[in-house]
Chains A and B, each alone.
Chain A
C-alpha cells in the first residue's frame, strides 16, 4: 500500500484547510477598537488571586473599587464610593456607595466588599496578595488564623450603601490601595455558583466600565464597553483587545506592523531605533534599579568598601551610554516625584574619595581585594549594566569582580538565602508613597535580603507607619530613614530610576504619562 507523494500532499492540504477554518482575529482598522500588547498571559481574572501589572491592566477596567485613579496624577477619585469621611485619628474610613450595578443587573452593595475582603484574608483561599489587607484592624491575625471570627476584622457594612473600614494604623495611602485589584468587590453568587470557573467568559460578573467578551489563553482577551456602568457616558472605546505576546521583539514588530496600538516595552537592542520614531515615549517609572550588598559577607560587610564601590560608579555614563532609554541616574532609593516627599542627597561619583575609602579598608589600589561575585538573572539589560559596573570598578578601583549569571528562580532563591556577595536588583513601588520603598529594609523584612539591620531605621519606619499622623512630620521621618539607608550605611547602592519605554499610536487620545504607566481605558479614545 505505497502512498504517492501527491496523495500525501493532498492529505496535508485538506488537513490544513480543515484545521484553519477558525474565525479571524478581531478586525482592527475601523471603530473604537484599542489593541494592547499586554506582554504576558494574565494568570487569572479573579481580583483576589492576582498581583501583577498585566493583570491590573485588564482588571482595573473590568472591575471598580471604592476609588479609581486620576489618569494624570494617579490621585484617588470616586469609584464605587461617591464620598468618604476619615476620622480625626486617621483610623476609621466611612465610604458612601453609589447606586451601581453588576453586569447581571444586581446592585453593588457594601456587603460585596465585605465578602471580597473576607475571601482574600481567609487562609483557605491562599491569596498571594493578602498583605494588601493587613492594614485593616485584625486583618493579619485573621489571615494567620489567630482569630476565627471575621466580625472582629475592621470592615463592616453599616447598610447596603455604607461601608465602614477600621485600620490598624493611620495609613496615609489607604485611598490609593482601595483602587488596587485585591480590594475590588466580587459577586458572591457567581463565585458560589461556578467555583474557580467564575472568572471565565459567560460566567464572570463584574462592575467596571468594561465587560469580558472572550478570553482564549495565550491568544487574546477581549473587553467591550459596559453600557450599564454608572460612568458609561464617558467611555469612548467600544472594544479593547489584549494580546499576550511574551516575546518583546515580536511585540515591538506587531506594533510597527500596526497590529497593536500600544506596546509598554521596547527591546533593549532596539532602543535607539525606537526612540527615533514619533510614537516612542519615555517617562519616569516608580521603580529603582539598584545593587544589593550582603552585609554578612566580606569584603562588603565593611561599610567603607560599600561606599567606595558606590562612589566609583559613574551613573551618568551608565544611563547615557549603556541603558540609553533615558533612565534617570540616582544614588537615592526613593524615586523623585512622590507627593510631599523631598528626596535625599546621596553620595556622588568621586573616584579619589572612593580610593581613599578602599585604602582605609585595607585595599590600597585594590591590592589584596578578595574574589567577589556579582549575581544577576538572565536578561539583556542586566547583562550590560553589570558588565559596565564591573568595568568601572576595575578601572576606578583596580578590583576584579566576577559576573555570575543565573536563571530567575535560582537568582531569587540565592538572594533569599543570602547565598551571594553582591547582586543586581530592582524594586517597583506598589503605591505612590515613599513607604513602599523604605519599608523593605526593616530588620528581618522578607524583601531585605541583605542581612542589614539598623535599630534607628526600624524605629523611624515604624513611627511613620503607625505613630505620626501629621503628613509633614511623617515625610521627615521617612527622609531621615532614607538618609541612613543610602548615605550612612549603604546595604544597597541605587543606580538609576527606571523609565517606562513604550510605543503608542498617535491616534490614541486621553492617555497621560504617569509614574505607574497606568492608563484607565475609560478616558481613552481613538481619533484616526
Chain B
C-alpha cells in the first residue's frame, strides 16, 4: 500500500513539470503585461520595475529561474501585491477555501444523500419525482445566479444572515449552500442510481428475510454499496469545490484562493497565476490519490497494487 502511494507521488513531478511549463508560456503569450495600466508608465519607470522582477531577461532564463524557484517551493513575489509573496497569499487563502469547500461538500452530502436514498427507495413515486426535479434544478442553476438570489432573500429580505464577508459561522451558510447545491444535485442522482442497483440484490433480500428493521436494511446493508459511486465522485468533487469556488468567493467577498485565481489572470500577475496553477494541480493530484486509496477500503473487489 505504502509503496503504491509512493509510486503515485513520484509520478506527480513530471505532471507538475508539464503543467508549470505550459502555463508559464501560455501566460506570456497573452497580450498585455502585469504593469500595463490606464496611465501608461514612463519608459524608465517601466524598465526599473521590470528589472526588479527580472522581466527584462530573455524568456528562457526567466523560465529556468522560475522552475528552480518552484522546485525549492518558492512561488515568487506577487506583482500586484508587492509586499507579499505568492506563498504568503496562498497560505492565507487556503484555510478559508478549505473551510468553505468542506461546508459545501457537507451540504452536498447531507442534502444529496438524503434525497438520493429517499428517491431510490420510492422509485417512481412522488418523492422520487420531486427530489429529482430539484436535482435537475440544482444542476442547471449556475452559482452566480443562485448566490445573489439567496443573498436577496436571506440577507436583504429576511435579514437572517449577512450579505457577504468572512469571520463567523453565519457568513458561511449562504456561500456553502450556493456552492454545494450543484454537487448536492449530483450526489442525489448518484445515490439514487446506486440505491436502485443495490436494493434489488440477493443480500438485501436476505437481510429483509431475517426480519431486520427497514432502517437497518437501508443504512447498514444497502447504503455502503449504494454510495460507492458517490465516493468515486467525491474526489473530483472535493477538488472541484476547492477550485470551483472562484465565483462564490467573489460574490460573497470571501478571502480564499479562488479570489486570486481569476483576478491574477486578468491582471497578468504572472507569478500569482502560476502559483495558483501549481497549487491547484497538486490539490487535484492528491485528491485523486486519496479517492483511489479510499475506494480500495470501501470495495473489497478493488485491490491496490
Contact = CB atoms under 8 A, between A and B. Distances in A.
Interface string B125-167: 0000000000000000000000010011001100100111111
B303 interface: no
Contacts of B109: 5, 8-9, 12
B41 A446 contact: yes
Contacts of A317: none
B253 interface: yes
A22 B43 CA distance: 46
Given A259-B162, A447-B40, A43 B45 contact: no
Contacts of A426: 38
Q: By CB atoms of chain B within 10 A, which of A13, A124, A218, A259 has the most?
A: A218
Interface string A198-216: 0110000000000000001
A243 to B, nearest CB: 7
A244 B36 CA distance: 22
Nearest to A123: B48
Nearest to A131: B42
A259 B165 contact: yes
A16 B102 contact: yes
A394 interface: no
Given A125-B48, A128-B35, A253-B164, A49 B82 contact: yes
Q: By CB atoms of chain B within 10 A, which of A3, A46, A51, A200 has the most?
A: A3
A413 B31 contact: yes
A370 interface: no
B163 A250 contact: yes
A412 B32 contact: yes
Contacts of B106: 9, 12-13, 15-16
A243 B165 contact: yes
B255 interface: yes
Contacts of A219: 165-167, 255
B31 A414 contact: yes
Interface string B33-57: 1011111111111001111110000
Nearest to A37: B253
B68 interface: no
Nearest to B259: A218
A189 interface: no
Contact of A2 (B36, B92, B224): B224
Contacts of B205: none
B297 interface: yes
A127 interface: yes
Interface stretch (A61-69, A348-356, A403-411): A403-411
A20 B219 CA distance: 30
A233 interface: no
Interface in A4-20: 4-6, 8-9, 12-13, 15-16, 19-20
Interface in B215-269: 219-220, 223-224, 227, 250-256, 259, 263, 266-268
Interface in A408-434: 408-410, 412-414, 416, 426-427
Interface string B278-297: 00000000000000000001
B305 interface: no
Contact of A199 (B37, B83, B159): B83
Q: By CB atoms of chain A within 10 A, which of B38, B99, B224 has the most?
A: B38
Q: Interface residue tally of chain A, by bracket? A: 35 or more
B42 A43 contact: no
B266 A407 contact: yes
B196 interface: no
Contact of A5 (B39, B227, B298): B227
Interface string A369-404: 000000000000000000000000000000000000
Interface string A118-146: 00000111111011001000001001100
A20 B168 contact: yes
B167 A25 contact: yes
B157 to A, nearest CB: 10
Contacts of B37: 51, 412
A321 B80 CA distance: 37
A44 B220 CA distance: 56
Contacts of B95: 19
A1 B83 CA distance: 48
B269 to A, nearest CB: 10
Contact of A257 (B83, B105, B159, B253): B159
B253 A247 contact: yes
A228 B205 CA distance: 81
Contacts of A24: 167-168
B93 A218 contact: yes
B122 interface: no
Contacts of A19: 95, 98-99, 102
A373 to B, nearest CB: 16
A45 interface: yes
Given A4-B224, A124-B48, A256-B156, 6 more contacts: A51-B37, A123-B48, A130-B45, A131-B45, A144-B44, A409-B266
Top 9 nearest A-B pairs (CB, nearest first) are: A409-B32, A218-B255, A2-B224, A446-B40, A12-B106, A126-B52, A126-B49, A219-B255, A19-B99
27 contacts: A2-B224, A2-B298, A5-B113, A12-B109, A12-B110, A19-B95, A19-B102, A20-B169, A20-B172, A22-B166, A23-B167, A24-B168, A43-B80, A124-B48, A126-B51, A128-B35, A130-B48, A218-B93, A218-B254, A218-B256, A246-B263, A250-B164, A250-B251, A253-B155, A256-B163, A410-B32, A416-B40
